[in-house]
Amino acid sequence: MAKNERTNVMRVLDQKKIEYTSHAYEADPTLMGEDIAGILNEDPEKVFKTLVTRGKSGAYYVFAVPVKAELDLKKAAKASGEKSIEMIKQKELLPLTGYVHGGCSPIGMKKQFKTFIHETASTYDHIFVSAGKVGFQIELSPKDLIEVAGCTEADVV
């Protein structure tokens, strides 16, 4: 793994002149979000996972929530204005977003979907999200993430 490897997420942030710090770690498919927080030596509440869902209308929505938390589908549906919402199947992720499971980021998807971030994100100076590839995380201000990914803050856990 090259330390200076650039991901699409990093290219988007560079293009928009948004400050971030990239973190690389040994890619391991058995690692869970809390494991990654431990590798980063960070509070799991500051490390966010990216989840992709489909509403009853057929529209897709993206949710960024702390790795220890579970997306509350009823709250997610309410936030998105849908009657109900469900997680997409893993096999749908790559063709839809351009990202693989474990490397999905709210930044730089093939298509921009309505994106929500859990409301606790803005209580921190910096948070972590996937850099768009397994084994890479980016650290940036929640304000910058909200701006670049077009996030709406909501209570979704």
**Interatomic CA distance for residues 74 and 43, integer angstroms:** 26
pLDDT at 41: 95
What's the domain range around 92? 22-154
Decide if 6 is inside a domain.
no
Per the CB < 8 A criterion, the answer to whether 50 and 33 are in contact is no
Greatest CA separation found in the chain?
Answer: 45
- The total domain count for the chain is 1
* pLDDT at 14 > cutoff 80: yes
pLDDT tens for 36-73 read 999 999 999 999 999 999 999 999 999 999 999 999 99
Measured CA angle at 66 (ends 5, 153), to 5 deg: 100
Decide if 141 is inside a domain.
yes
Decide if 7 is inside a domain.
no
Per the CB < 8 A criterion, the answer to whether 45 and 120 are in contact is yes
Give the closest residue to 156 by CA, choosing from 69, 93, 81, 89: 69
Decide if 3 is inside a domain.
no
Entry pTM:
0.94
pLDDT tens for 105-122 read 999 999 999 999 999 999
Per the CB < 8 A criterion, the answer to whether 64 and 115 are in contact is yes
Q: CATH number of the domain that 46 lies in?
A: 3.90.960.10
Decide if 5 is inside a domain.
no
Decide if 40 is inside a domain.
yes
Output the six-digit token pair for 87: 């997680």
